[in-house]
Structure 1
Amino acid sequence: MSLSRVENPCFLLFLFVFQAIFIVILYRGGPSNVFRGLLDSHQALDYSKTHDVYTNLSLFTQAPDDEATPYCSVQSPIFVGPLTITFRVLPSERTIIRKNPFVQPGGRYRPPHCLPRYKSAILIAYRNQEKYLHHLLYYIHPFLQRQQLSYSIYLIQQVGNGTFNRAKLLNVGVREALKDEDWDCLLLHDVNLVPENDYNLYVCDEYYPKHMASAMDKFQYTIRLAGMKIVRTSPHLGRYKVMDYNEETDTQEPWRRPTSRHNTGKTWKDDGMNSLEFKLLSRTKHPLYTNITVDIGYVPPFS
């Protein structure tokens, strides 16, 4: 390399920019995270102009038998961004099934037109929230299909009169879902939250837990308690609508429940998958989800 080239201001500027990009790639955990961040920051999002979640979903059709099935594109060709979400009309199960013809028993879906790049399991803790469930299933199935994911939806249902224990039910869901598939990602989902943007990718980060509902800061205390590093979806993508039918206290949103009288600060390291005890009562494949009914033992009510 000649001295005159090194001293060239344009070349020095190019070298500086190249090194900066390289450092960002290393810092953010690889190229995929960097490009995802660029997408998040440059995607024009106007929530005053929303689209039906089923828009262009019919373009994903069964591939001909005589053609080799390709891998799904890195970015789905039918992304629209902000979605129209309304809870005014309660959809019936028959309507949801009709609008999602490629969903298999157990709430399982694989793209019919391409080989999926990611496999995600959606785990939902549940008890007596049928209205919430119907709305969520109506939106979450096409939402996931738009992202060209292979996925399955698991409903973990608690029986008995004890206090609703969301955390333990989700631990049960993790264990049961892993019996079916070596999932790339396990997403812990509330039954009354519906995502508003199909660019909010339901795939996991390469290194850290990922907080999907980034606009809901009230969830953050659980992460700080465990001392975990997390990745948060950009606020303009991680937007969710919250359903509220004024249910009983133990089936309300997590941030509205009273604080447990258990000393979580001392028990969180030991109270989890390594100490999980439950009785599996049934495991049934419904048309839109897999229902896992469990007895987790008596949970005392809040004082």
Structure 2
Amino acid sequence: MREPTGNFTFLHRICTLVVLLCFVHISVTLLYYVKSWDFKQPSIQTQPGQRKLTFNRESSEEESKPTTNLPHIIPNITDTPEELQQCPDPSPLLVGPLRIEFSAPVSLEHVRSENPALQEGGRFKPKDCIALQKVAIIIPFRKRDEHLKFWLYYLHPILQRQQLDYGVYIINQDGDETFNRAKLLNVGYAEALKEYGYECFVFSDVDLIPMDDRNTYKCFSQPRHLSVSMDKFGFRLPYNQYFGGVSSMSKEQFLKINGFPNNYWGWGGEDDDIFNRLSSKGMSISRPSGAIGKCRMIRHDRDKQNDPNPQRFDRIAHTRETMHKDGINSLSYKVVKVEKDQLFTKITVDLGEAPK
């Protein structure tokens, strides 16, 4: 009778042990699962749409990438400022034909107040885009202050609407020697490059105002004649080779012709010399249409010490022989004074004496 009881007791102990082992196994498994879940929880993005931030410089690239199954919204602290794009061409700010009048005088104070975006030295660049070109405006000058006021009054708003990165340089000839326009333009080129990496140079007489802001003061694939149809000539081009008034050249084009001649003292001739230089280097003149290229001239008497140059015809006839030794590579002058105004940089220079 004792044998069956002993067998039952033995089986009961084995079953109890098995149950205990199962309980321990389940408990361990559950505990491991809970701990494993707690360990993984911090790596999950708890805020939808946010990128996981890590400060470990040795983290792998994969850790810094957002998970593909979460919204791709990045928090502000990881954003970088949007880069400016190039300004459109043409500028969307242009208005077209302009009314240009010289009846009412203007003051520099008024022009300054109308152009608050200008920086010292007559510098400007657009804030919302990157200008297509860096342009230096070079104006040969002497004792033409009233004309300069009109030029600044009209041109600064035009140039800003054209979205140029530009600076205005007034190159003032010191003393009472015979005026030398072309040499002053060479000086303007050299002095402007000392201040900024200009790519384009616009050479403008102080008495010429464009009548349409679509006539952009910039450079093109060929040298550009901008004052195509002046009221002085009945809004017609006086002759096909004419390159006077307002023109533009890139740095490469300017250096290709060795700049402008330095030996034209007095009125006339230098424009035709420049045309000959361009032609000899295989370049042609680019122009806007007659309607867009209209401009007005401020009427005035010829300046003193700017009488017609009697040697101009002989010099023009020998341009191809002299251009390689007479130009930017032979330029000599002395800076007398530099003035920085909100509207311009004025550089007074001594050009030396005209040959007798």
TM-score for the superposition, normalised by structure 1: 0.71
1:139 counterpart = 2:190: no
User: 1:231 matched to which residue of 2?
Assistant: 286
Q: 1:245, 1:94 → 2: CA distance? A: 24
1:240 counterpart = 2:292: no
Q: 2:120, 2:198 → 1: CA distance? A: 18
Q: 1:88, 1:245 → 2: CA distance? A: 13
Return closer, same or farther for 1:203/1:224 CA change in 2, 3 Å cut-off.
closer
CA contact (8 A) 2:176 2:305 kept: no
Specify which of 107, 115, 123 is matched with residue 122 of structure 2: 107
Q: CA deviation at 1:112?
A: 2.3
Q: Which has the higher contact order (CA 8 A, sep 6+)?
A: 1
CA contact (8 A) 2:169 2:188 kept: yes
Return closer, same or farther for 1:247/1:224 CA change in 2, 3 Å cut-off.
closer
Q: 1:69, 1:204 → 2: CA distance? A: 22
Q: 2:114, 2:333 → 1: CA distance? A: 36
Q: CA deviation at 1:224?
A: 4.0
Q: 2:133, 2:153 → 1: CA distance? A: 22
Higher mean Cα deviation, 178-187 or 101-110?
Answer: 178-187
CA contact (8 A) 1:212 1:238 kept: yes
Specify which of 290, 299, 303 is matched with residue 345 of structure 2: 290
Q: 2:302, 2:341 → 1: CA distance? A: 24
Q: CA deviation at 1:89?
A: 1.1
Q: CA deviation at 1:246?
A: 2.2
User: 1:205 matched to which residue of 2?
Assistant: 220
Q: 1:236, 1:284 → 2: CA distance? A: 37
1:79 counterpart = 2:94: yes
Equivalent pairs counted in the alignment come to 231
1:193 counterpart = 2:208: yes
Post-superposition Cα deviations, 1:9-61, rounded to whole Å, max 9, x if no partner, equal xxxxxxxxxxxxxxxxxxxxxxxxxxxxxxxxxxxxxxxxxxxxxxxxxxxxx
Q: 2:285, 2:85 → 1: CA distance? A: 33
TM-score for the superposition, normalised by structure 2: 0.61
Q: CA deviation at 1:147?
A: 0.5
Alignment RMSD, CA only? 2.1
Specify which of 160, 166, 183 is matched with residue 198 of structure 2: 183
User: 2:308 matched to which residue of 1?
Assistant: 258
User: 2:327 matched to which residue of 1?
Assistant: 272
CA contact (8 A) 2:177 2:305 kept: no
**Whose Rg is larger?**
2
Q: 1:78, 1:164 → 2: CA distance? A: 38
Please state whether the residue corresponding to 2:91 is helix, strand or coil.
coil
1:117 counterpart = 2:132: yes
Q: 2:310, 2:134 → 1: CA distance? A: 34
Letter in 1 for 2:155: I
Q: CA deviation at 1:249?
A: 4.4
Higher mean Cα deviation, 213-222 or 280-289?
Answer: 213-222
User: 1:9 matched to which residue of 2?
Assistant: none
Q: 2:341, 2:110 → 1: CA distance? A: 15
Q: 1:108, 1:209 → 2: CA distance? A: 24
Letter in 2 for 1:214: V
Please state whether the residue corresponding to 2:194 is helix, strand or coil.
coil
Unmatched tracts of structure 1, length 5 or more = 1-65, 252-256
Q: CA deviation at 1:214?
A: 1.7
Identity %: 39
Q: CA deviation at 1:217?
A: 3.1
Map 1:17-28 to 2 at 5 A: none
Q: 2:132, 2:163 → 1: CA distance? A: 8
Return closer, same or farther for 1:236/1:223 CA change in 2, 3 Å cut-off.
farther
Letter in 2 for 1:212: L
